[in-house]
Amino acid sequence: MTATTDGSTGAVPPRAASASGTTGQAGTTESTPAAAGTREAATRALERATDFLLVRQDAQGWWKGDLETNVTMDAEDLLLRQFLGIRDEATTKAAALFVRGEQRDDGTWATFYGGPGELSTTIEAYVALRLAGDSPDDPHMAKAAEWIREQGGIAASRVFTRIWLALFGWWKWDDLPELPPELIYFPKWFPLNIYDFGCWARQTIVPLTIVSAKRPVRPAPFPLDELHSDPRNPSPPRRLAPVASWDGVFERLDKALHAYHKVAPRRLRRAAMNSAARWIIERQENDGCWGGIQPPAVYSLIALHLLGYDLEHPVMRAGLESLDRYAVWRKDGARMIEACQSPVWDTCLATIALADAGLPADHPQLVKAADWMLGEQIVRPGDWSVRRPHLTPGGWAFEFHNDNYPDIDDTAEVVLALRRVKHPDPDRVERAIDRGVHWNLGMQSKNGAWGAFDVDNDSSFPNRLPFCDFGEVIDPPSADVTAHVVEMLAADGKAHHPATRRGIEWLLAEQEANGSWFGRWGVNYVYGTGSVVPALTAAGLPGSHPAIRRAVAWLESVQNDDGGWGEDLRSYRDVAGWSGRGASTASQTAWALLALLAAGEQESKAVERGIAWLAETQGGDGSWDEPYFTGTGFPWDFSINYHLYRQVFPLTALGRYVYGEPSFGKAS
């Protein structure tokens, strides 16, 4: 039974007319009793999953699942509050409860469920628990400290961890890479200007140039000698790379910047810091956040505070208030910090899933979702306009508030979602779609593909900086984003548009030898392949195309014995050992099924087994349990468990199995 907006229930209706007026037909020829049983099970699972999703829509029209990452978010939140002098007992207790609960049996903390212990994460978690009052002699703390020392201690941790420790004198600023605020003056054509960095890195680096110049030290509330492999020599010299190598060049550049720090003209440095501050303040969102993500907010608050902005200043007050909106309070009293929030992404994916599940295109909840998404379209320039100054705005961002950084992926999926809704004001929808499609077309990179936020953001230099030793700092085109744009263009009747054909050519060239595609923003080859195959078929490639047959063969070869699909994050480090390998998950099984169904494999044994796995593992409330992280922030370094993925993607796959592939109705 499905819930309606007035609280009543009714059976899932047959697939209704879409916004284009086309209708789908349930089922294909059922060749065996087993297939018939699978289809019946799929239909029941689809009904339960639809109910589960409908009742979780917000009254304003959006959906949002928790966005779970790792405990560095929680540790750094406490360290920020300690630095600003606003840490309180209740917040500390709640954060510590969450951090303790994430510790592994070996005393470490990982960056994803089931992953190995990670040094920097473990150090930051340890320090957070020290702030909460845990003693170094407590068994769980002693075990963590012993492991940290075995891994090389604080000296072996990443730069960002040592920056946090330097704020309290636990590390020397002289032993950190230098990042001068004069960087703000580099013109956009100059190597290593701020627009050479991906938007997430750019928002973090600009405030950190101020912090690096100021080198503040707050009194440490306790020593951390127990985290050094050798407390007498906590910062042993590091061996420099050969001069002839790029790493060697950048290491020596860093040494030169350290020398410049001592002689930098005061007026120039002060002017650079003030320019950086203006850049930061101009990009603060209406709700006080920066870019809708937590790390830039944290570093921006520290930087502005160092320049004299007191905590009651409107910019600071709004920024601090925004941080509280990243907190998720759990029933046991623990407090988890989200790195980001994903309402636009979750809402467009939920809309597509419900439409695929047979909900009428004019269902009130789909219309309400469309209304909310229409209100989120961004119609003013952001940082992307530095590279595309004459392009008319029209994209969508990922978060509630992020007008400076709309992204190409969200825009593509929102357009696909809006195409599935029969809205009472179709002209308004068409205007929004046209603007979004035009913006995405204008954001195509010169190689024919699309990145997430910027155009041609693929300089090799930023990743080589000693400062940038954690995660991706550039935003080159990826197969998954490009696939979503190609699928959107096909749905908009532009399958034969030159931009679409260039995107298809790029995707075909990027296929791995084994038939899969790399997944930049989801784990990993299963996500990439599950994104690309539906896009290629939507754009007109037949299921018999060699690239699609290779993808089908690869997916069939990595299907688990239980019928599902899974892929561990280790595939980002060890392709041969982990590509397409891992415990079955609902989201990854759905991605594989979406590719197989798009390739015309509705009657295949692989599809039947995958659908059966989804039906069998569904909970009684219509949901799926998925502790594994299947989202990607930075490949391997920063992973995400999107709590709504386990719901929207299985529902989409079940709907397309029962009702067939969606039809958008616009002629190519």
Q: Of 206, 406, 387, whose CA–CA distance to 292 is shortest?
A: 406
Q: Is the pLDDT of residue 18 over 50?
A: no
Q: Is the pLDDT of residue 102 over 80?
A: yes
Angstrom distances, CA of residue 106 to CA of 110, 138, 517, 637: 11, 14, 35, 20
pLDDT band at 273 (very low <50, low <70, confident <90, very high): very high
Calculate the dihedral angle through the C-alpha atoms of 23, 6, 653, 398, rounding to the nearest 10 degrees.
Answer: 110
Tell me 516's DSSP state. Answer: -
Mean pLDDT of 142-153: 98
Lookup result for tokens 């100021």: 214
pLDDT tens by residue, 578-627: 999 999 999 999 999 999 999 999 999 999 999 999 999 999 999 999 99
pLDDT at 9: 34
Q: Is the pLDDT of residue 521 over 70?
A: yes
Task: Centre a 10 Å sphere on the Cβ of residue 619 and count the other Cβ atoms it contains.
Answer: 11
Q: Of 402, 341, 335, whose CA–CA distance to 77 is shortest?
A: 335
Angstrom distance (rounded) from CA 626 to CA 153: 33
Q: Is 409 a catalytic residue?
A: yes
Share of the chain above pLDDT 70, in %: 94
Through-space distance between the first and last CA atoms of the chain, rounded to whole angstroms: 37
Count of H-run helices and E-run strands, the chain: 23, 7
Cβ–Cβ < 8 Å for 96, 132: yes
pLDDT at 187: 95
**Per-position DSSP letters for 518-553, written without gaps between them:** --SSBSSHHHHHHHHHHHHHHTT--TTSHHHHHHHH
Cβ–Cβ < 8 Å for 302, 204: no
Q: Do domains 2-65+342-460+478-659 and 68-337 have the same CATH topology?
A: yes
pLDDT at 32: 64
The alpha carbon of residue 154 and the mean position of all alpha carbons in its chain are separated, in whole angstroms, by 28
Q: In the 3-class helix/strand/coil scheme, how is 605-620 assigned residue by residue?
A: HHHHHHHHHHHHHCCC
Please state the domain extents for the chain: 2-65+342-460+478-659, 68-337
pLDDT tens by residue, 149-199: 999 999 999 999 999 999 999 999 999 999 999 999 999 999 999 999 999
pLDDT at 59: 97
Amino acid in the structure at residue 352: I
pLDDT tens by residue, 438-497: 999 999 999 999 999 999 999 988 888 888 887 789 999 999 999 999 999 999 999 999
pLDDT tens by residue, 197-233: 999 999 999 999 999 999 999 999 999 999 999 888 8
Q: Give me the catalytic one of 409, 410, 454, 568.
A: 409
The alpha carbon of residue 219 and the mean position of all alpha carbons in its chain are separated, in whole angstroms, by 35
Angstrom distance (rounded) from CA 123 to CA 108: 9
pLDDT band at 14 (very low <50, low <70, confident <90, very high): very low
CATH architecture of the domain with residue range 2-65+342-460+478-659: Alpha/alpha barrel (1.50)
Q: How many CA atoms lie within 13 A of 317 on its CB side?
A: 3
pLDDT at 19: 33
pLDDT tens by residue, 48-101: 999 999 999 999 999 999 999 999 999 999 999 999 999 999 999 999 999 999
pLDDT at 308: 96
- Across the chain, mean pLDDT equals 92
Tally of residues, the chain: 668
The alpha carbon of residue 4 and the mean position of all alpha carbons in its chain are separated, in whole angstroms, by 31
Mean pLDDT of 106-132: 97
pLDDT tens by residue, 291-338: 999 999 999 999 999 999 999 999 999 999 999 999 999 999 999 999
pLDDT tens by residue, 548-572: 999 999 999 999 999 999 999 999 9
> Residue 117: beta bridge partners?
110
pLDDT band at 30 (very low <50, low <70, confident <90, very high): very low
Q: Is 144 left (phi over 0), alpha (psi -120 to 50) or beta?
A: alpha
R_g of the chain, CA atoms, integer Å: 25
pLDDT band at 26 (very low <50, low <70, confident <90, very high): very low
pLDDT at 33: 64
Angstrom distance (rounded) from CA 253 to CA 9: 67
CATH class given for the domain over 68-337 = mainly alpha
Cβ–Cβ < 8 Å for 466, 250: yes
Judged by average pLDDT, the poorest of 236-240, 328-332, 420-424, 646-650 is 236-240
**Per-position DSSP letters for 429-486, written without gaps between them:** HHHHHHHHHHHHHHT--TTS---SSSSSB--SSGGGSTT--SS---B---HHHHHHHH
Task: Dump strand ranges (E) for 61-113.
Answer: 67-68
pLDDT tens by residue, 374-401: 999 999 999 999 999 999 999 999 999 9
